[in-house]
């Protein structure tokens, strides 16, 4: 006789969030990244949820998970729900006495492009705190707590996005190294430096600027563009420079661009602002200073 079982408890909220992320991003690993946990954590959350609801949400395949039909049907309601939560949380955060502007940027962009502009911003925004977070992938501004994101990526065209500059690349090196170079062919005798995530920059530039020139890539790879740039300054070799990132070094004379050929990558330095009313006065102010409209 089923009388008085303990009050039926709702599902764990964090599991719902994990599920929402997993179904939206299409995988546990991606969801894990967004939530800053290991995939195992996501796996357990989903399992807990499946146990609670007594319904399978994902089909486990060897190459990843595939949402079940039913799981997919939950995507929209949960997305709506968490957008709603996000909005309420923004409202909550807007109450802080001292507002904080959260900026997300690619590590290299943060250090090489944003950093020189920060002092100006900070003085203009007295009374606000400023927080800069380096991220490998652009955050979902609707869901996460960033106000502004600055990335070097293919523009998505979503609302709130402003293109600051098209991305153009060209080899850069120290003046000392540049002295040895007269034509692109001389590159073959030099060490080529690579950024780990932009490893095909060299191929891309060569294809446009010096077709036919081939070289086995044997130079060092750096996980941080900034490190590669430092090494370049120390005459360790030649690096493909992204205009927005090497501008300061070129202006100071630490680096030079030995060849004139500038090649567009199709990417762009884009700044995106979250579309929310509160605090946006300060956010718009920052945007204007960064060169947005």
> Which has the closest alpha carbon to 68: 53, 57, 77, 78?
57
Handedness of CA 193, 199, 205, 206 (dihedral sign): positive
Residue 239 to residue 171: CA distance in whole angstroms: 6
Residue 207's Cα: distance from chain center in Å? 26
State how far the Cα of 138 lies from the Cα of 151, in Å rounded to an integer: 7
- Asked if 133 is part of the footprint of its own copies (rule: CB under 8 A), the reply reads yes
Smallest CA-to-CA distance from 272 within 185, 163, 175, 199 is with: 163
Q: What is the nearest approach in angstroms of DNA to the Cβ of residue 223?
A: 14
27 is a contact residue toward DNA (CB under 7 A): yes
Residue 136, interface with its own copies (CB under 8 A)? no
Applying CB under 8 A, the span of 73-81, 210-218, 243-251, 260-268 interacting with its own copies comes to: 73-81
Told to check if 23 binds DNA by CB under 7 A, we report no
| Closer to its own copies by Cβ: residue 18 or 271 | 18
Residue 136 interacting entry, from DNA, its own copies, none, C-beta within 5 to 8 Å by type: none
Rg of the chain's alpha carbons, rounded to an integer? 24
User: Do 202 and 230 meet the contact criterion of CB atoms below 8 Å apart?
Assistant: no
Separation of alpha carbons 250 and 175, rounded Å:
10
Output 129 or 234, the one with its CB closest to its own copies.
Answer: 129
* C-alpha span between 87 and 110 (Å, rounded): 27
Binding segment (CB under 7 A) for DNA, from list 11-19, 123-131, 262-270, 283-291:
11-19
74 counts as binding its own copies under rule CB under 8 A: yes
**Given 60, 91, 278, 284, the residue binding its own copies (CB under 8 A):** 91
2 binds its own copies (CB under 8 A): yes
Measure the CA–CA gap between 221 and 225, rounded to whole angstroms: 9
159 sits near its own copies (criterion: CB under 8 A): no
* Stretch 36-75: interaction string toward DNA, x if CB under 7 A: xxxxxx-xxxxxx---------x-xxxxxx----------
d(CA 48, CA 45): 5
Q: Can you tell me which of 42, 65, 106, 110 binds its own copies, judged by CB under 8 A? A: 110
Pick between residue 16 and residue 229 the one whose CB is nearest to DNA: 16
Residues 160 and 275 sit within 8 Å (Cβ to Cβ): yes
Q: Which has the closest alpha carbon to 255: 263, 246, 266, 264?
A: 246
Q: Please give the size of the binding site for DNA, defined by CB under 7 A.
A: 28
Helix axes 13-25, 39-53, angle to 10 degrees: 110
Shortest distance, CB of residue 158 to DNA, whole angstroms?
24
Candidate list 38, 87, 154, 156; residue touching its own copies; CB under 8 A: 87
Chain contacts with its own copies (rule: CB under 8 A): 1-11, 13-14, 16-17, 36, 49, 53-55, 70, 73-74, 77-78, 80-82, 84-85, 87-89, 91-93, 95-98, 102, 107, 110-111, 115, 118, 129-135, 144-146
Residue ranges that bind DNA, judged by CB under 7 A: 12-15, 18, 27-29, 35-41, 43-48, 58, 60-65
């Amino acid at each position: 006789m089923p009388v008085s079982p303990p009050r039926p408890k709702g599902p764990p909220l964090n599991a719902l969030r994990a599920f929402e992320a997993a179904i939206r991003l299409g995988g546990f690993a991606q969801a894990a990244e967004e939530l800053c946990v290991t995939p195992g954590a996501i796996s357990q959350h989903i399992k807990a949820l499946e146990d609670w609801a007594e319904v399978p949400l994902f089909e486990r395949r060897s190459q990843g998970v595939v949402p079940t039909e039913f799981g997919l049907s939950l995507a929209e309601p949960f997305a709506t729900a968490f957008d709603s939560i996000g909005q309420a949380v923004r409202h909550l955060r807007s109450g802080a006495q001292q507002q904080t502007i959260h900026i997300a940027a690619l590590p290299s962009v943060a250090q090489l492009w944003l950093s020189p502009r920060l002092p100006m911003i900070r003085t203009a925004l007295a009374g606000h705190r400023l927080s800069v977070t380096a991220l490998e992938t652009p955050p979902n501004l609707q869901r996460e707590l960033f106000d502004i994101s600055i990335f070097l990526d293919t523009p998505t065209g979503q609302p709130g996005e402003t293109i600051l500059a098209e991305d153009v690349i060209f080899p850069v090196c120290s003046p000392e190294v540049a002295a040895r170079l007269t034509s692109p062919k001389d590159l073959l005798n030099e060490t080529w430096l690579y950024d780990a995530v932009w490893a095909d920059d060299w191929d891309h530039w060569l294809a446009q600027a010096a077709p036919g020139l081939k070289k086995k890539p044997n130079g060092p790879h750096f996980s941080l563009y900034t490190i590669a740039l430092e090494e370049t300054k120390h005459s360790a070799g030649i690096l493909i420079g992204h205009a927005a990132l090497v501008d300061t070094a070129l202006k100071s004379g630490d680096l030079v661009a030995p060849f004139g050929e500038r090649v567009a990558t199709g990417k762009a330095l884009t700044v995106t602002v979250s579309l929310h009313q509160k605090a946006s006065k300060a956010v718009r102010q920052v945007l204007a200073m960064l060169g947005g409209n």
